[in-house]
């Protein structure tokens, strides 16, 4: 386990703790700024971290020439995004379930890459962490609000899945416990120095953030402070291992053009939804947009992870 990852996890835990305390002490404040925080996170790391996919793809297939790489990448990316967008139009509930599954895997994968562990314990951490995050996005601190958003985009409120079967606090606690239990299970089979104590705090603060804080605020803090940053670090490490000398400055320069296009699309979506005055619809469409961008992205990074190992 590299010291750099340990130090970054300390920073992440500190960020999560500060965000949690802020929400507990000033809930009205966090509710007022939650979309500003989400917007800043998407601009600074959210969109840029997905705008590196073409470079990752080019360096993953050195046997192809430059023209073949471009045709393959843009054809694949466009076709998959279009297909998934159409699926959202025809089968919104099915598409939403796909989004939950890919989010579970993708979030867990990006965070578990910090652990230099064999595949079985790493996969336990991957899936348990992903399940905790996705479960708490749906049934965390404000499941009624999230259920309304889900109903707007799928026609099916997520609370109806559990109505009459389980109490919300019990379900929240269950999902919040999955990753810490998975972490402790893995820890019990390892030497004490293989997983420093800071990772136990990390296993507790992330579920607490989603279970207690405002859902949009919690997602924003996690998406920027953990997922996107961890993912960027992994991609830069991958490219450095491909004999490129890359850094965060290089990353932002390389992703600027595609990020600007994404920002323009987000701005257009925002102003259109503002005209309708429907916050739930705005949040729902934002997550649809993220899902459409994430599906081809996850296949690119899966190739990267396999080649990296």
Q: What share of the chain is helix, strand, coil (3-state, %, to 5)?
A: 85, 0, 15
59 appears as a binding residue in the annotation: no
Q: Widest CA span of the chain, in angstroms?
A: 58
231 appears as a binding residue in the annotation: yes
The half-sphere exposure of 245 on its side-chain side, counting CA atoms within 13 A, is: 0
Distance CA 231, CA 250 (A): 15
297 appears as a binding residue in the annotation: no
DSSP 8-state assignment for residue 45: I
DSSP string, 47-73: HHHHTTHHHHHHHH-TTS-HHHHHHHH
DSSP string, 19-36: HHHHHHH-HHHHHHHHHH
Distance CA 128, CA 214 (A): 22
Distance CA 208, CA 180 (A): 11
C-beta of residue 273 within 8 angstroms of C-beta of residue 29? no
49 appears as a binding residue in the annotation: yes
Q: Mark the binding-site residues, compressed into ranges.
A: 49, 106, 227, 231
Q: Mark the binding-site residues for Fe cation, compressed into ranges.
A: 49, 106, 227, 231
């Amino acid at each position: 386990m590299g010291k750099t990852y340990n130090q970054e996890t300390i920073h992440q835990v500190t960020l999560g703790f500060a965000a949690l305390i802020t929400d507990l002490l000033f809930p009205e404040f966090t509710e007022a700024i939650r979309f500003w925080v989400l917007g800043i996170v998407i601009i600074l790391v959210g969109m840029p971290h997905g705008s590196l996919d073409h470079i990752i793809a080019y360096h993953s297939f050195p046997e192809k020439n430059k023209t073949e790489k471009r045709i393959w990448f843009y054809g694949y990316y466009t076709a998959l995004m279009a297909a998934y967008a159409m699926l959202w139009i025809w089968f919104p509930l099915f598409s939403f379930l796909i989004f939950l599954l890919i989010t579970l895997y993708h979030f867990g994968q990006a965070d578990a890459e910090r652990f230099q562990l064999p595949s079985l314990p790493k996969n336990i951490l991957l899936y348990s962490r992903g399940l905790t995050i996705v479960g708490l996005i749906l049934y965390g601190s404000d499941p009624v609000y999230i259920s309304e958003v889900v109903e707007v985009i799928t026609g099916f409120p997520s609370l109806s899945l559990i109505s009459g079967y389980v109490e919300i606090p019990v379900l929240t606690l269950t999902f919040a416990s999955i990753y810490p239990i998975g972490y402790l299970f893995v820890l019990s089979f390892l030497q004490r120095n293989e997983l420093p104590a800071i990772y136990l705090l990390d296993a507790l603060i992330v579920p607490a953030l989603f279970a207690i804080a405002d859902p949009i605020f919690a997602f924003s803090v996690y998406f920027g402070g953990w997922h996107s940053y961890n993912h960027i670090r992994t991609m830069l490490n991958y490219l450095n291992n491909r004999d490129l000398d890359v850094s965060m400055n290089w990353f932002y320069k390389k992703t600027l053009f595609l990020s600007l296009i994404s920002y323009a699309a987000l701005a257009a979506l925002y102003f259109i939804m503002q005209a309708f005055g429907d916050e739930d619809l705005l949040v729902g469409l934002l997550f649809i947009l993220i899902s459409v961008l994430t599906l081809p992205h996850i296949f690119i990074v899966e190739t990267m992870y396999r080649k990296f190992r």
